């Protein structure tokens, strides 16, 4: 399992395949920490798991006792996707210019801002 979402890094490298590369379940604090790492694609991730693009994100979420007994990796993908898709600021549509009265200047559309724009709207691999 993995997530698919394109990300271009500042160095120009582009990856589309996000795989959880580590997880830590803390049953005392009832939380789990996952690190999700960007790879160029699935083929490279499968062939050489150490050949990531050097870009990772770490997420820690509280879990229930029931969740701690489930597939932790699958739980991580679900929780990361749910978190990433929380909308912080909704999209604003473009506004066409209007000739008066009153005149209105054109405004470009503004995309939605998500809790985690890197992983928002990612799909399951």
Q: What does the pLDDT read at residue 42?
A: 96
Q: What is the pLDDT of residue 118?
A: 95
pLDDT at 99: 87
| DSSP H or E segment with residue 58 | strand 56-62
**pLDDT for the residue numbered 14:** 97
The residue behind tokens 């600021």 is 89
Q: How far apart are CA 110 and CA 35, in angstroms?
A: 30
C-alpha 79/C-alpha 16 separation (Å) is 19
* Residue 48 backbone phi and psi in degrees, to 5: -140, 85
Rounded distance between C-alpha atoms, residue 87 and residue 78, angstroms: 16
Mean pLDDT in each 10-residue stretch from start to end of the chain (125 residues)? 96 97 95 97 94 97 92 95 96 90 89 95 93
d(CA 15, CA 6): 6
The H-or-E segment that residue 73 falls in is helix 72-84
């Amino acid at each position: 399992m993995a997530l698919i979402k394109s990300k271009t890094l500042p160095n120009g490298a582009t990856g589309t395949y996000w795989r959880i590369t580590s997880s830590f379940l803390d049953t005392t604090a009832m939380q789990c920490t996952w690190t999700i790492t960007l790879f160029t694609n699935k083929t490279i991730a499968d062939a050489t798991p150490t050949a990531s693009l050097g870009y990772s994100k770490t997420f820690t979420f509280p879990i229930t006792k029931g969740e701690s007994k489930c597939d932790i990796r699958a739980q991580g993908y679900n929780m990361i996707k749910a978190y990433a898709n929380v909308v912080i600021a909704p999209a604003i549509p473009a506004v066409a210019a209007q000739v008066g009265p009153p005149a209105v200047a054109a405004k470009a559309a503004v995309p939605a801002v998500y809790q985690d724009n890197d992983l928002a709207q990612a799909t399951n691999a």
